[in-house]
Structure 1
Amino acid sequence: MVIKRVYFFIFLFDVIFFLSKCFSQIPGEGDKISDTLNYQPIDTLKKPPSSSFRRYGFTDQTVQNQIKDSSINFTNYQYGGDLLLLHPGFFIREFGGLGHITDILLNGNNVSRMQFSNDGIPLNDPWNGRYNLYLYPAENIERIEIVDGTRAFLYGNNSTGGVVNFVSKNKRSIKPYSRIRYSESGYGFSIIDGMLSQNLSRNFNITAGVQHIVFGERYANENYDGWNGRLKLRYDIGNRYSIFISEIHNKTNLGLPGGVNIEATPDSVRFDNLQAAVKNTDAYEKVTRNDFQTGLEIHPFDDSTSISAVTLYLTSSLREYRDEENRPLPNGIFIQQNQRSQWSGIKINNYFNLGSQNFTIGAEYQAQRILITPSTREERAIILSIFGKTEIPIYNKIILSPYAKYNSYSGEKPISYGGDIYFKPNEQFKLYGGYSRSYRFPNILERKGLDTIVSSIITDGTPERHHLMEAGITWTNSNWFNLNIKTFYRTIWNPIGLSSKLNNGNGYIYYYERFPRCIIKGINAGLSVKLSVILIESNFQYIYKENGGLVDKTIPNWTVYGGIYYIDRLFRDHLELKAGVKVTSFDAYKGYEFQEQLIDYLPENNYYNIKSNSIFDLVILARIGDAYFHVILDNLLNTNVVMNNFYPIHSRRLRFGVSWEFLD
């Protein structure tokens, strides 16, 4: 198997190298390769830099937090979820293996209250509001834009809790650009990704890539095989127009063991992958998904910061859930269910300046179709939204920003609104605060339920109502010190969640309902300090959550992500090295049972008390020329850890690989 992967890696390299040389052009005088590897911090009181094709993503530069590819290259990551942990406020409940949809929390809000997007276009499945980050290749990311405060509702449907936008790599280079990443570890884990970008003519660019992720069985039925292919075409008409077409295709196969069966497995062997019994040796899922976009970007004025973009999109997703009697240890259950989702729409964004004041205006129309078989009932929905925002500078040190959004869904037509103010007395210090009132509509699963697993007593489209207040400071010295602290208080009226009741002594009945009120409050902080050759990084968060007047312990009260590293340039700057120890720590919380067919947590009755714990990783990252090497010893102390009930995190393992860029 390893030999086959090596042969595939060599073949992929040969193909990319051959195509690069075939389509390379002789650069004209003044032509340069686009460099996206340099970090450029955003100055919220200055105009954005000169634009290029889809440069902005959201076309909003004031409060965006960006994770640049310069940071990504020197990060210990396997998939996009690992990269989000560079930003304060995230907590991810991992399942231990690869390919499984992870539960992602941002400031205490789960995925159903967030939106993931690709170049501003929504990725969340409208059926259940979730998105599997393994479906978006990390090697396709030029930067990640994160809006997690009072403005979040502007940039997506049901995005009151936050927005994560993946801006895809986009090169403007006469000479070819290619990149290969290879990483492997134990239990048959490997990632191979190849990417090529080339201008076929001065105005026409093609960017293409392919990725294969595989993970063998650690526990029974814990395996993953995922293929991803992507293509983006761009044609520039003069300096003011760009036409683009993009497609991302995914085909995956994932075993669904349901975790270790702790009732049938003694405590002493729950973390022994050879002796522990899993709940299900039969269940698996196949996912086939296509994300298509096409559109036009216009620079209507001589002012290069003014942008108008129109994007048409279509996404289709098929999840084939199976629990069949074709494995060595059948469980007596036979299920064949297809979960089909399709959503399409048009999104319009405009960003322009009038004097010293700038404006962002946009609209989105989205049509949704859901079909769950063997049932033949098709669910349909239409969402319309129109939003606007302006930024008003005052005395060149203060920015006042009001904003609002109109929504229409299932007969409901609420108006969300908010505002914030930024005070920046100098280049190093920034103080801000804001308030917003926004809405989240129930998704189709929450309104209709799923077969006999879960029902719903929600009969209309009445949305959750979110009131959010936040305040924070940022203190930055780009040479050695960065600190940001934010505190927030969120009140949610009519929050939607799962409940349960006894079924006449025969187990429990689960159903979606509205609760009276939910409160989420807390503080998060990010710190980076560089003292000579020592780098200290840390993200800390404290969360208090109350649901229906009761303390909610389904998430940890505190989490810490950080590390201490030796970082330097050696051998006459030929070697750039980052080596040290990374730590992940979290508080105790209740781990509810994750229902694989439903893709949600069942409440209260089947939970495991997850203890507070810490995971240490030994990290060595190095850059030599255009090659980035990584050698990681995961779970250095071989600690027994679970973050979901009951999915053991991997034991100590060695992971290594290389990402190599070819700029000529």
Structure 2
Amino acid sequence: MLKLLSSFVLFTTFIFPQDVDSLLNLKNSASSDTNFVGIVDSTAHSDSTITINAIVDTLIPIQGIPLTDVSTIISKRTFLFENYRYAGDLLRSFNLNFIKDFGFIGYPNETFIYGVGNSGISYLQDGVFWNNRYTNSLDLNLIQSENIDSIEIVPSPRGFLYGPYNNPVTVNFITRDFIPPVPYARIKYYQGPDGEAMIDGKFSAMIAKRWNYSFQLTNRSKDETYANTDLSLWQFNTKLKYFLSNSVNLQAYYYYVDKEQGLNGGVDYDSLSRSSDDPNADLYDPIFAPVVYPNQKLDIMQHNVGLRTLAKPFDNSQLDLTVYYRYGLDEYRNIRDSLNFGRDYTNKSFGTVINYLQTLSIFTLQVLGDYESTNSELYWVEDNYLNSDTFKRFSFGGVLTAAFFNNYIQTSIYYKQNYWDEVDYWDKQEIRLNGIGADIIFLPEYDQSLYVGYSLRESRSEEENVPAFEIGTRYKNSQLLFDAKYFYNEHFYESHLEIIPPWRFYIQTVKGLGLILNYKFWILLLETNTSYYFEIDEMRTVNLPEWQFVGGLYINDLFFNTNLDLKAGLKFYYKGKTDLAFDYWGSVGSVEPTNKLDFNLAGEIKKVAIFYFQWENLFGNEYYITPYYPMPERNIKFGLAWELFN
């Protein structure tokens, strides 16, 4: 099926003309209502001159409210020229990001933001909590990456404010939302080795006065290299918007996910050591190296439905209200010695989330609230045992901001209270969690800022309040970008040493420093992203590298009378030594430093099409980031994004 679709992509790129750039951010575009009123002058002169007055009813969509006005925003233009595979790759441009990569395409890699990984990050999409309710984490492969307009990363002191948990970090994926002046279509395709391919198609149009309809379909696939590493992922979303007025916009949406993934647990190094004279070399032979689970599979199905209201009920105000329903089914299967071992997790959640903003004079009040009722079932296949849980979560909070000296200084205080009732087969729990904090930001000039924030929050696993602190500064001009952050936090960490439970739990304290330094000179662009994590009590933080560096040197400019926007060059990755726990009993090992060099090329033609080429791991380095999941060997990948039918 995917090969047929790819043939269609190559055919249509030569057939359909390109008039409008799909790669531009069209969020602020206005679509004129074609229902004009023509008035003929009854006192027309003898020369039949007619005066026509056209009254244009202009629709201007209301954009969703950012979670904060002090967040780090990764815009679509930032990652447009990156040859990314999934939504997790889009976070690499943040300067305190680390991906604990499992090597195999489509695997649920663990992403760390501000040193926080699984069960500590609230992933939101358009303000709605998107995490798996059982693991309180998210496989970022399940986010439809081509549907993302920008990514918002909330400063760590404010991270606990959003979502039903008091997670210390919040990431919000903001989807594309615009009114196309004409029917709009975009298609993207890329292909790599071993059957790796992705195709994505999007269509949007005004189907009637004040009605906009859009849909998007994505398919990713990957053939087997090592045993049991195949991938099939289908994603679909559709939206229907009604623009009641320029003060009230209504939206209904539906998201569907169907993922089938082989989970082999990595190379069985113990078995390999017994059968090989050189296991460190044979580890990278996909034919010879045995895997831990040759038959373990994970199938995921999700249905996400929602009704969203964006409104401006008063002057200097905005309301973002969403009512949603989520259904999820995770099926694990592992056949061993003709016995079927497995677990099925079913989740049904109904909830609502509100974000209201009101400005009065120098003060801005943001009111936050959410409610969710969740019914979940965990079924052990081998034991024929079913456990049911019911959760009811309610939280409210807010942010009060005062702006001084023409917004040069903004100070904020914020608070959140969580109520959590849980009933399962064994008992009933009532949990009350809260958090409080304050921050200040200085904005002396455009694209200059200094941020300082501190908060205390309660965690379900900790008896005392735990702190979060951050200080950061940013400066940008036409040639230079300087962005530095220092942070400190404490959090409860679930070490997902295996893809499925049980997991190991412990308290983690993290201190880190991140720096982005980019410089443009003539047609040369230097980009660097560096992070360093400090020792605490003479011990290295588990699962985070001592330091990480990503640097690229590119040719980046407009060529051929500005018809080609080119970015081409070398990108170097270095990850320092990483301490990590290998098993559930706390045995600690380490991963030695690793590096690789890629060649990337991306070119945008007349702002309507973009082509990609990547030569990954130029020197063919053999390495892993997570034992024992080998990273991809030297390979070539290419792709194309193009607009159609405009």
Task: Quickly name the TM-score band, shorter chain normalised.
Answer: 0.7 to 0.9
**Deviation string, structure 1 residues 108-164 (Cα, Å, up to 9, x no partner):** 111311111111101101111111111111110111111132111112233543211
Counterpart for residue 49 of structure 2: none
Q: Does 1:624 align with 2:605?
A: yes
Counterpart for residue 487 of structure 2: 488
Counterpart for residue 473 of structure 2: 473
TM-score normalized by structure 2? 0.86
Distance across 1 between alignment mates of 2:151 and 2:324? 20
AA at the equivalent of 2:84: Y
Change (3 A) 1:434 1:588: same
Listed as ranges, the gaps of 5+ residues in structure 2 are 29-58, 273-278, 422-429
Counterpart for residue 197 of structure 1: 204
The offset of 1:414, in angstroms, is 3.0
Q: Does 1:385 align with 2:385?
A: no
> What pairs up with 1:403-418 in 2 under 5 angstroms?
403-410=414-421, 411-418=430-437
AA at the equivalent of 2:485: K
**Conservation of the 8 A alpha-carbon contact between 1:184 and 1:656:** yes
**Conservation of the 8 A alpha-carbon contact between 2:70 and 2:155:** no
**Deviation string, structure 1 residues 457-480 (Cα, Å, up to 9, x no partner):** xxxxx6774201221211121x11
Q: Which has the higher contact order (CA 8 A, sep 6+)?
A: 2
Q: Does 1:642 align with 2:641?
A: no
Q: Does 1:37 align with 2:15?
A: no
SS of the equivalent of 2:119 reads: helix
Q: Does 1:319 align with 2:325?
A: no
Counterpart for residue 40 of structure 2: none
Distance across 2 between alignment mates of 1:131 and 1:111? 8
Q: Does 1:177 align with 2:184?
A: yes
Distance across 2 between alignment mates of 1:125 and 1:592? 24
Distance across 2 between alignment mates of 1:70 and 1:510? 40
The offset of 1:511, in angstroms, is 7.1
Q: Does 1:286 align with 2:305?
A: no
Structure 1 window deviating more from structure 2 (553-562 vs 643-652): it is: 553-562
Change (3 A) 1:17 1:235: farther
> What pairs up with 1:444-459 in 2 under 5 angstroms?
none
Counterpart for residue 404 of structure 2: 394
**Conservation of the 8 A alpha-carbon contact between 1:359 and 1:388:** yes
**Conservation of the 8 A alpha-carbon contact between 1:591 and 1:645:** no
Change (3 A) 1:157 1:541: farther
Choose from 590, 597, 609 the match for 2:590.
609
Distance across 1 between alignment mates of 2:216 and 2:122? 24
AA at the equivalent of 1:378: S
SS of the equivalent of 2:620 reads: coil
The offset of 1:7, in angstroms, is 3.8
Q: Does 1:376 align with 2:386?
A: yes
Listed as ranges, the gaps of 5+ residues in structure 1 are 22-31, 41-50, 326-330, 443-461, 501-508, 594-600
Choose from 568, 573, 577 the match for 1:579.
568
Distance across 2 between alignment mates of 1:207 and 1:472? 39
Change (3 A) 1:646 1:33: closer
Counterpart for residue 58 of structure 1: 66
Counterpart for residue 652 of structure 1: 634
**Deviation string, structure 1 residues 215-260 (Cα, Å, up to 9, x no partner):** 0011111110011111011101011111111111011110011111
Distance across 1 between alignment mates of 2:183 and 2:465? 50
Counterpart for residue 537 of structure 1: 527
**Conservation of the 8 A alpha-carbon contact between 2:22 and 2:186:** no
**Conservation of the 8 A alpha-carbon contact between 2:195 and 2:221:** yes
AA at the equivalent of 1:474: R
Change (3 A) 1:76 1:282: same
Superposition RMSD in Å: 2.9
Distance across 2 between alignment mates of 1:534 and 1:663? 36
Structure 1 window deviating more from structure 2 (180-189 vs 427-436): it is: 427-436
**Conservation of the 8 A alpha-carbon contact between 2:613 and 2:639:** yes
Counterpart for residue 34 of structure 2: none
Structure 1 window deviating more from structure 2 (352-361 vs 611-620): it is: 352-361
Change (3 A) 1:223 1:497: closer
Counterpart for residue 528 of structure 1: 518
The offset of 1:608, in angstroms, is 5.0
Counterpart for residue 271 of structure 1: 284
Change (3 A) 1:52 1:582: farther
AA at the equivalent of 1:394: F
Counterpart for residue 102 of structure 1: 109
Distance across 1 between alignment mates of 2:510 and 2:578? 16
SS of the equivalent of 1:281 reads: coil
**Conservation of the 8 A alpha-carbon contact between 2:22 and 2:643:** no
Distance across 2 between alignment mates of 1:428 and 1:484? 11
TM-score normalized by structure 1? 0.84
The offset of 1:38, in angstroms, is 7.8
**Deviation string, structure 1 residues 421-461 (Cα, Å, up to 9, x no partner):** 1122223532221110123336xxxxxxxxxxxxxxxxxxx
Distance across 2 between alignment mates of 1:245 and 1:12? 31
Q: How many residues align?
A: 594
**Conservation of the 8 A alpha-carbon contact between 1:33 and 1:172:** no
Distance across 1 between alignment mates of 2:102 and 2:567? 28
**Deviation string, structure 1 residues 268-287 (Cα, Å, up to 9, x no partner):** 21111122111121111111
Choose from 551, 570, 575 the match for 1:562.
551
Q: Does 1:6 align with 2:25?
A: no
The offset of 1:203, in angstroms, is 0.9
Change (3 A) 1:11 1:300: farther
Distance across 1 between alignment mates of 2:115 and 2:237? 33
Counterpart for residue 453 of structure 1: none
Change (3 A) 1:218 1:200: same
Identical residues among aligned pairs (%): 25
Counterpart for residue 275 of structure 2: none
Q: Does 1:299 align with 2:312?
A: yes
